[in-house]
Amino acid sequence: MKNERTRTALLAIAVAASLIVALFILASGANSGMMGGGGMMGGGTGYGLSDIQLAILAISVVVLIASIILLVTRLAGNAGSAVPSAGILQPAPQPVAMAPPEEERQTAADNHLISRLLDGDERNLYQMIASAGGSILQKDIVSKKVFSKAKVTRLLDKLEERGLIVRERYGATNVIRITK
């Protein structure tokens, strides 16, 4: 992600630098053309630009156009990507495989039995994870504002100690999965 931002910033700098060079050359050519500086005396274009200035202007315009095209393509490519609000690029969540109907009934029965054996807050959190398909991001649990961030961590510690869930690192957060 950092490399992408750096490349985009460098492209933006190339656009700005090329534009400044082009405008500077055009402005200096316009000034020297008005004063009769080499326009008809040979080696010039007739518009106040020397051959060297014209070559630099042409290169600057080519770099400007190429940089703009690359910058627009890069920004258009990033517009469709899902970037979390924290600015950390995270891998997409893995889809949860659909269980056969018999296995779904057994899992639902297990979840019901387990949730009856838990105390109030642990049960609520476990049911929240189960209702999310058995897998949820820890930051999503916190964002529901049912429990504080610290309370979520403590409850997950208890559920993990009992072997009911597993936590896997996932960028800046954890994926919480019900164990089968």
Q: What is the pLDDT of residues 5-36, one digit of tens each?
A: 777 777 778 777 877 877 777 777 666 654 44
Alpha helices for the chain (secondary structure H): 2-34, 51-79, 101-117, 120-131, 138-143, 149-161
Cα–Cα dist 171/167, whole Å: 12
Cα–Cα dist 152/179, whole Å: 18
- pLDDT, residue 84, reads 46
* pTM for the structure as a whole: 0.40
- pLDDT, residue 112, reads 67
Q: Per the structure block, which two tokens stand in for 30?
A: 């316009």
- pLDDT, residue 151, reads 93
- pLDDT, residue 82, reads 46
CATH classification (class only), 101-178: mainly alpha
CB 18 within 8 A of CB 64: yes
Distances (CA, A) of 48 to 27, 31, 54, 178: 10, 8, 10, 76
Q: What is the pLDDT of residues 107-131, one digit of tens each?
A: 666 666 676 678 888 888 888 888 8
